[in-house]
Chain A
């Protein structure tokens, strides 16, 4: 989008932060703001990245399957047909494991058996369950990025959020669910808030880089939870290091009977996503955060309190991550266990980038990640494909998102006006 009177694209010095922000700052604009080409860039690239990721994942599946090698020893034709059979079987298992088997849906609905219907639709619901912590985590990272801070501490903030929510869940007794659920959720948010506040404060006041400090805070959070579970918060009559179960009034209600686990948390996550969107793009507070993230000097010039907003950004980011922890405790586990979050926080960084740090994009990316994660289990059981293939898939997708030039080259897409830009983050010493 060059102006008509400036046909000379200036070769300007760009630091990583600038490039990153260029890629990031659309969205939230009033109607008509996005032109077709920009929208195309933001939808097409992630879509093609996912597609290419699936293709490359398929190649890995072929390469890791012993049957394929044996088939190739019998002949080229047999080899290829076996290779494609294996990939087909794996991806169809991935699909039925994450979305469900359409044939089973129909027969279940025809039979009218409630349990069978629930079972038929469970893969899909389970994907939504798996997506929920990703939505919270992705929002946390995205909000940080928009405000110019790189929150790697989401994983730790999830743990602290879970600790706070679990404590509020089992220690408060005798209150109705309408009060207890919001209270426990807020407790989780508060835990994450505090865990984000500390590196935020360190960055704003001392210049300590938040990447290092949040990583350190992660370790503190992990060990803190280990210690609490083996001592102060350990359930009295339990051999395992788990907390007491939370009160039934703090449990996020499930919508359908067993075996489904689909619970209220998913809709809470969608509501929070809207809230983050509204905050970032519609309010003065969000403008402050985005301005500080985009250009600290202009923000200061515009009279915005930079220090306050850096602290606020890290704290709010932490609060969102804390909600992810609360969601897991209150929706699924109903107590706090060791190592209950397996890398949600780190995957969140990837999916925030995939979602272009926009709440809508984050929700979509979270659904994708949740679906892949859920389907992977089934793929392992049904097709014997190691679950790690999904990690490779996610990594490849992310790599293409971070380097859109590769995708453009593969699919012969034209670069957007204004040069090639990649999603990257404010690097070391970037303020």
Chain B
């Protein structure tokens, strides 16, 4: 069978970096070809070349056996290549139809937009491939998963046969991701071909037909899901053995560090999103908060760290009430916070690394004499932290925005964990990170726990919750519906609780837990 797309010896250099080193790749009609690699391995560069955003120094691109040159996305689209970007390219205040038409407007009477005709076509496409979406809805009102569907429809509308998905699940909830995979299946079954860029091993093993692994700009291996295991793929990706299952010691719990009593918090629209939550975290333990995104976790963490006002209830940090305290005083009481959105809250991207490393301690006597910040001293300390936390960067003067996601997160971790702290609140600490960085950050969190810090971990990744937690609380519609011992928890059981099934009923459904715990846990 002739491949629909072939890349031969693609090479691309950036100043000081060989981003793609003679990469060759073939895509057969009707297959899902996964491109696996860590952040910065060169996957996105390769796809940007294919999409005409970059020009390669060497190599050629063939579509259906014919050599093509791609100088712009328009050339790519003309060749039937479409790309779903990680960050969507949609106009929020336009409707679905307007967004899909944009750039290829259907008109009548030579110049008037024919939205009805376009909407009809969109409707046809969406029913053909199972892409449910309302053509008249505004993008800004749609959840992320649906916005992504609009991106896919845009490509199908332009009759693309080769679809590139760049980290499509990074922004989705597990449910949305499952829905996306259904769509992808439906697409390939109707003759489309897909290149699927990711660094998530589970997804690759489940949905790809073939797998190509890239590391440091080179193809380091090609395999199929039948032959590969998570461990094999992880080793190929990172270039060394990776600890997928974290070894951890028994927790030695001490006194209560964080006590939350009947806490009520409202969101920006004055809706109660945290509804009477009570729990405690002790020194030396990790309490994991599991739950589907949007069940109040964000607001809970914001309330605990002083970023959001509490409506009622109390929060005690080592006996001191912090329910109405400012973020700074909470920080000074020994609370570290790894925020959910590292680029929005955790870092100032336009500031250099050394300024980000003192973002909440710049004014302390260690860093300042009176009002004068001792920058030379701060820079020196930063060099030490960059080394210690293995932040890959030319130096402390690099802007945080120029770092990869994993290294950005390491800057935050370095800042938060090198202060004397009693409580660590980590919210989605490894979202969007690659295997190597996840391993590193998990290890740092467990080290803190072992040194007697109370850890509150909020995550929508069940694997992460199960790996790190000693106890697990499940949050559903603003309430903590159950707190279970991590040893007695399975993914299935937690999944039912997250979906709102009462604890007793969930227990009945999954059967005796003890029996399957050990086996289940080995999967993580």
Binds A, one of B13-21, B98-106, B186-194, B479-487: B13-21
**Interface of A, helix, strand, loop or mixed by DSSP:** loop
Binds A, one of B157-165, B253-261, B359-367: B359-367
- In the bound complex, residues from chain B placing their C-beta under 8 Å from that of A302 are 327-328, 359-360
In chain B, what residue has the closest Cβ to A22? B350
B-contacting residues, A273-310, CB 8 Å: 282-285, 287, 290-291, 294-295, 297-305
- In the bound complex, residues from chain B placing their C-beta under 8 Å from that of A11 are 48, 53, 85-87
Is B97 on the interface with A (CB-CB < 8 A)? no
A-contacting residues, B37-61, CB 8 Å: 39-40, 42-45, 48, 53
- In the bound complex, residues from chain B placing their C-beta under 8 Å from that of A295 are 344, 347-350
- In the bound complex, residues from chain A placing their C-beta under 8 Å from that of B393 are 3
- In the bound complex, residues from chain A placing their C-beta under 8 Å from that of B14 are 2, 7, 9, 417
In chain B, what residue has the closest Cβ to A292? B348
Contact in complex: A25, B350 (CB < 8 Å): yes
Binds A, one of B138-146, B264-272, B395-403: B395-403
A103 CB → nearest B CB, Å: 48
Is A30 on the interface with B (CB-CB < 8 A)? yes
- In the bound complex, residues from chain A placing their C-beta under 8 Å from that of B392 are 3-6
- In the bound complex, residues from chain A placing their C-beta under 8 Å from that of B355 are 287
Known contacts A294-B351, A297-B344, A1 near B399 by CB under 8 Å? yes
Contact in complex: B347, A298 (CB < 8 Å): yes
Alpha-carbon separation in the docked complex, A30 to B383 (Å): 13
Alpha-carbon separation in the docked complex, A44 to B73 (Å): 32
Q: How large is the interface on A (under 10, 10 to 19, 20 to 34, 35 or more residues)?
A: 35 or more
In chain A, what residue has the closest Cβ to B44? A8
Is A13 on the interface with B (CB-CB < 8 A)? yes
Alpha-carbon separation in the docked complex, A12 to B399 (Å): 15
Is A18 on the interface with B (CB-CB < 8 A)? yes
- In the bound complex, residues from chain A placing their C-beta under 8 Å from that of B40 are 3, 5-8
Contact in complex: B42, A8 (CB < 8 Å): yes
Known contacts A301-B327, A303-B326, A13 near B403 by CB under 8 Å? no
Is A32 on the interface with B (CB-CB < 8 A)? yes
- In the bound complex, residues from chain B placing their C-beta under 8 Å from that of A287 are 355, 362-363, 373
Alpha-carbon separation in the docked complex, A285 to B372 (Å): 9
* Most A CB within 10 A of own CB, among B44, B341, B351: B351
Contact in complex: A33, B327 (CB < 8 Å): no
Task: Give the size of the chain B interface in residues (CB under 8 angstroms).
Answer: 60
Alpha-carbon separation in the docked complex, A417 to B349 (Å): 15
In chain A, what residue has the closest Cβ to B358? A287
A-contacting residues, B242-295, CB 8 Å: none
B-contacting residues, A3-55, CB 8 Å: 3-13, 18, 21-22, 24-25, 29-35
Counting residue pairs across A and B whose Cβ atoms lie within 8 Å, the total is 150
Contact in complex: A3, B404 (CB < 8 Å): yes
Alpha-carbon separation in the docked complex, A22 to B19 (Å): 24
Contact in complex: A18, B350 (CB < 8 Å): yes
B366 CB → nearest A CB, Å: 13
Is B227 on the interface with A (CB-CB < 8 A)? no
A304 CB → nearest B CB, Å: 8
Alpha-carbon separation in the docked complex, A333 to B476 (Å): 71
Is B512 on the interface with A (CB-CB < 8 A)? no
Is A418 on the interface with B (CB-CB < 8 A)? yes
In chain A, what residue has the closest Cβ to B306? A303
Is B345 on the interface with A (CB-CB < 8 A)? yes
Contact in complex: B16, A5 (CB < 8 Å): no
Known contacts A5-B40, A30-B379, A284-B368, A303 near B327 by CB under 8 Å? yes
Is B394 on the interface with A (CB-CB < 8 A)? yes
Is B307 on the interface with A (CB-CB < 8 A)? yes
Is B11 on the interface with A (CB-CB < 8 A)? no
- In the bound complex, residues from chain A placing their C-beta under 8 Å from that of B407 are 3, 5-6
- In the bound complex, residues from chain A placing their C-beta under 8 Å from that of B345 are 297-298, 300-301
Contact in complex: B348, A291 (CB < 8 Å): yes
B38 CB → nearest A CB, Å: 9
In chain B, what residue has the closest Cβ to A17? B350
Nearest 7 A-B pairs (CB), nearest first? A303-B328, A7-B19, A6-B404, A8-B44, A7-B17, A5-B392, A6-B40
18 contacts between A and B (CB under 8 A): A1-B399, A3-B394, A4-B392, A5-B407, A6-B39, A8-B40, A8-B45, A282-B372, A291-B359, A297-B341, A298-B345, A300-B327, A301-B305, A301-B327, A301-B345, A301-B360, A303-B326, A303-B327
